[in-house]
């Protein structure tokens, strides 16, 4: 499924984030920037040791990456030139600012991409794996945040993709995007 929002192509597709031919892929990282499981493990495995080495340097310089923020490294062996590492919140029931922190993770990634002059990027479904954020709620936050950013920054990006790992997750994102676009 795709839509054009203020001059940017927004695409939802099923696939593996490490295969994407975009300028930057976004990693669902942890605050220590230690490669972990899920998206994080896949990106570090495919991208090779250069990514972990740059993460180590960022850890030494600034202690890692707080929840809701983002840092950038090169893409190592990936097709993508950069990896934007953002940290989504761990779901703790919804009363600990999880919604705003998840929106902030998307916003921070988009802002960092804009600062670097990146034109195309791919997001995974942040926080909905090991961090257990409820999928439909996360999809609503993800798509609303991206839509609002694109609307406020027309033509900054040529393309933003969501790369969903499975068909059921893609279906939730498609249904949610239709609702978000209908809401205007």
Core vs surface per residue 50-82: b (16+ CB within 10 A) or e: ebbebbeebbeeeebbebbbbbbbebbebebeb
Element (H, E) at 115: helix 98-115
Q: Is 173 in the site for ligand ADP (CB under 6 A)?
A: no
Query: Contact between 165 and ligand ADP (CB under 6 A)?
Result: yes
Which tokens is 132 given?
A: 């257990």
Site residues for ligand ADP, 1-40, by CB under 6 A, read 16-18, 28, 37-40
Q: Which residue in 16, 19, 40, 99 is the catalytic one?
A: 40
Instruction: Tell whether the torsion through CA atoms of 27, 29, 31 and 33 is positive or negative.
Output: negative
The count of residues in the chain is 184
By CB under 6 A, tell whether 66 contacts ligand ADP: no
Q: For the CB of residue 152, give the shortest distance to ligand ADP in the complex, in Å.
A: 25
Non-local (6+) Cβ contacts of 100 within 8 A are: 68
Q: Is 40 a residue of the active site?
A: yes
Residues in 104-133 at the binding interface with ligand ADP, rule: CB under 6 A: 124-131
Q: How far is the CB of 104 from ligand ADP (least distance, A)?
A: 14
Residues in contact with ligand ADP, counted by CB under 6 A, come to a total of 21
Q: Active-site residues: which are they?
A: 40
Query: Where do contacts with ligand ADP occur on this chain (CB under 6 A)?
Result: 16-18, 28, 37-40, 42, 88, 124-131, 163, 165, 169
């Amino acid at each position: 499924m795709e839509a054009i929002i203020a001059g940017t192509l927004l695409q939802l597709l099923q696939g593996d984030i490490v295969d994407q031919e975009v300028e930057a892929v976004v990693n669902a990282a942890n605050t220590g920037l230690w490669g972990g499981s899920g998206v994080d493990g896949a990106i570090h495995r495919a991208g090779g040791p250069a990514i972990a080495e740059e993460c180590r340097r960022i850890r030494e310089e600034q202690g890692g990456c707080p929840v809701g923020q983002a840092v950038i490294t090169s893409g190592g062996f990936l097709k993508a030139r950069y990896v934007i590492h953002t940290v989504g919140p761990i779901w703790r029931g919804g009363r600990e600012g999880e919604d705003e922190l998840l929106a902030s993770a998307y916003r921070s990634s988009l802002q960092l991409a804009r600062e670097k002059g990146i034109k195309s990027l791919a997001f995974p479904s942040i926080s909905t794996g090991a961090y257990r954020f409820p999928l439909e709620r996360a999809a609503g936050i993800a798509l609303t945040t991206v839509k609002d950013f694109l609307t406020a920054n027309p033509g900054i990006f040529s393309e933003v993709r969501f790369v969903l790992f499975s068909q059921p997750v893609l279906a939730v994102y498609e249904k949610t995007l239709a609702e978000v676009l209908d809401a205007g």
